[in-house]
């Protein structure tokens, strides 16, 4: 603890935290994080030469004039973040879930920043490094810290909760993802529920989807603020999707219309979570609606892209069985002219991979999909269909370059590692 207090005193005089010596580190605390393939201690001297206020290292072979030696740099970063969080009076809102957590976080950030001072997870930097870095951005004027939490293995959400110590939590949903790490769907449920368990033990509150029976059962005996059906604090329904969603929502018997630039019925619950969080924090309805209407999806998350040839919904940041099913179903139900689906493998499913990819084939068949291109090692092993299959995105690009799709509406969906966004060059 002595080291952490010493680092914290320097942190208060610094311009923030850096974990990359290639960036501007002047007057910052440089944490020499190491990984499987690199030793961050090697860059401490470079950070020192570039003006770092302090270098935190865990290898005495790489000392500088301004350094502090700790047993483990990552643990020191986490302990510093926890110590800083304890010094703050800001409300910490933790968001996790299988699907939609980053979109929900971005929508909530848009709503709350219109009304008060917040800090928020950047991008999807939601792991054991990203969460501490978000907490360390809290300053004396911060009223709310929005902290996204991701996990690939059991126990990770609990670890992040112990660092962030949230007062309030949202689980967007719980579905099939990272089964290789969690072992089973039950493992997914157990891990996501670590957030609710933390809040239950520490007198926290939850914002919960009243229409989700699993989340309702997990949130029993925790003070709730709800959205969804007629018994919720905030109710809502889709009134238009052409293809962007327009929602009518109601609270205290007053109704409002909210237009978004989000595609897909699966984004309805994400928007409702943001509206409800705004109401929870007393944000005026006009600010809520404007903030949601001004939010543009980006970074290949249900991103609408128009090329010279086609209209594309690029949803290739990530994929799992639950999100893939939702994306396909929503796309089919829109009744687009000349619809095409280009689907890539879903990663981290372990022993469930073949069965889950075959289930996607069944969904395509049941929805009478005619035009689909399937890409990846797992999709190529599926059976009972006549869809075109390719082993890699590169192979699919070569085919599409010679057989251009034109005047179509195309859904592109797959795991990040498939790099399906590269297909834009030929679409």
CATH of the domain at 106: 3.40.1190.10
User: Is residue 150 located within the same domain as residue 255?
Assistant: yes
CA-based nearest residue to 137, from 90, 97, 69? 90
User: Is residue 194 located within the same domain as residue 63?
Assistant: no
User: Is residue 10 located within the same domain as residue 72?
Assistant: yes
CATH of the domain at 413: 3.90.190.20
Is 83 inside any structural domain?
no
User: Is residue 146 located within the same domain as residue 17?
Assistant: no
- Please check the confidence at residue 291 and state whether its pLDDT lies above 80: yes
User: Is residue 19 located within the same domain as residue 134?
Assistant: no
- Please check the confidence at residue 20 and state whether its pLDDT lies above 90: yes
- pLDDT computed for residue 175 by the predictor: 82
Is 414 inside any structural domain?
yes
Q: Do the strands 234-241 and 244-251 form a parallel or antiparallel pair, or are they unpaired?
A: antiparallel
User: Is residue 231 located within the same domain as residue 181?
Assistant: yes
- pLDDT computed for residue 35 by the predictor: 84
The pLDDT > 90 percentage for the chain reads 83
User: Is residue 262 located within the same domain as residue 316?
Assistant: no
- pLDDT computed for residue 169 by the predictor: 98
Is 316 inside any structural domain?
yes
Last residue of a domain, one of 269, 293, 317: 293
- Please check the confidence at residue 408 and state whether its pLDDT lies above 90: yes
User: Is residue 70 located within the same domain as residue 97?
Assistant: no
User: Is residue 284 located within the same domain as residue 309?
Assistant: no
- pLDDT computed for residue 324 by the predictor: 95
- Mean confidence (pLDDT) of the chain: 94
> CA 122 to CA 130: how far, in whole Å?
8
The residue-averaged pLDDT of 28-49 equals: 92
The residue-averaged pLDDT of 296-305 equals: 86
> CA 330 to CA 16: how far, in whole Å?
43
Is 407 inside any structural domain?
yes
pLDDT tens figures, 194-211: 999 999 999 999 999 999
Is 197 inside any structural domain?
yes
- Reduced 3-state DSSP string for 155-185: CHHHHHHHHHCCCEEEECCCCCCCHHHHCCH
Is 82 inside any structural domain?
no
- pLDDT computed for residue 197 by the predictor: 96
User: Is residue 253 located within the same domain as residue 379?
Assistant: no
b vs e for 28-65, b when ≥16 Cβ sit within 10 Å of the residue's Cβ? bbbbbbbeeeebbbebbbebbebebbbbbbbeeebbbe
User: Is residue 307 located within the same domain as residue 351?
Assistant: yes
- pLDDT computed for residue 186 by the predictor: 87
pLDDT tens figures, 135-186: 999 999 999 999 999 988 889 999 999 999 999 999 999 987 777 777 788 8
Contact between residue 237 and residue 250 where contact means Cβ atoms under 8 Å apart: no
Contact between residue 51 and residue 25 where contact means Cβ atoms under 8 Å apart: yes
CA-based nearest residue to 40, from 54, 63, 21, 64? 21
Last residue of a domain, one of 293, 313, 345: 293
Is 376 inside any structural domain?
yes
> CA 104 to CA 397: how far, in whole Å?
32
CATH of the domain at 72: 3.40.1390.10
Confidence class for position 1, pLDDT limits 50, 70, 90: low
pTM above the 0.85 mark?
Answer: yes
Last residue of a domain, one of 293, 318, 340: 293
User: Is residue 285 located within the same domain as residue 309?
Assistant: no
The residue-averaged pLDDT of 373-377 equals: 97
Is 381 inside any structural domain?
yes
The residue range of the domain holding 327 is 303-426
Q: How many domains in the chain?
A: 3
């Amino acid at each position: 603890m002595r080291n952490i207090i010493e680092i914290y005193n320097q942190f208060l005089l610094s311009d923030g935290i850096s974990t990359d010596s290639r960036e501007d580190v002047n007057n910052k605390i440089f944490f020499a994080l190491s990984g499987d393939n690199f030793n961050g201690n090697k860059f401490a001297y470079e950070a020192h030469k570039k003006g770092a206020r302090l270098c935190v290292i865990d290898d005495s072979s790489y000392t500088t004039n301004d350094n502090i030696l700790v047993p483990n740099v990552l643990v020191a970063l986490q302990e510093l973040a926890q110590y800083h969080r304890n010094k703050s009076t800001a409300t910490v809102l933790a968001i996790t879930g299988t699907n939609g957590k980053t979109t929900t976080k971005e929508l909530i950030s848009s709503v709350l920043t219109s009304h008060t001072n917040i800090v928020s997870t950047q991008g999807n930097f939601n792991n054991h490094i990203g969460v501490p870095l978000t907490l360390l951005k809290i300053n004396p004027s911060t009223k709310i810290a929005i902290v996204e939490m991701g996990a690939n293995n059991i126990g990770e959400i609990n670890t992040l909760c112990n660092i962030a110590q949230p007062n309030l939590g949202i689980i967007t949903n719980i579905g099939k993802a990272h089964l290789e790490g969690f072992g089973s769907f039950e493992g997914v449920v157990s891990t996501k529920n670590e957030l609710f368990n933390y809040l239950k033990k520490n007198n926290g509150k939850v914002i919960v989807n009243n229409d989700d029976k699993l989340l309702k059962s997990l949130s029993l005996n925790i003070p709730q603020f709800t959205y969804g059906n007629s018994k919720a604090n905030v109710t809502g329904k889709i009134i238009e999707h052409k293809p962007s969603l327009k929602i009518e929502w109601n609270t205290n018997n007053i109704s409002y219309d909210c237009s978004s630039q989000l595609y897909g019925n699966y984004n309805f619950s994400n928007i409702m979570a943001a509206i409800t969080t705004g109401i929870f924090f007393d944000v005026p309805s006009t600010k809520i609606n404007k903030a949601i209407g001004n939010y543009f999806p980006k970074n290949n998350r249900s991103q609408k892209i128009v090329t010279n040839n086609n209209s594309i919904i690029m949803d290739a940041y990530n994929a799992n069985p639950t999100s893939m099913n939702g994306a396909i179903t929503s796309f089919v139900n829109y009744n687009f002219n000349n619809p095409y689906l280009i689907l890539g493998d879903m990663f981290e499913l372990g022993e469930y991979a073949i069965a889950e990819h075959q289930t996607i084939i069944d969904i395509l068949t049941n929805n009478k999909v005619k035009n689909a291109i399937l890409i990846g090692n797992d999709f190529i092993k599926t059976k009972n269909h006549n869809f075109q299959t390719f082993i890699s995105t590169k192979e699919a690009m070569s085919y599409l370059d010679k057989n251009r799709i034109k005047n179509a509406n195309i859904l592109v969906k797959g795991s990040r590692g498939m790099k399906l966004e590269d297909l834009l060059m030929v679409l």
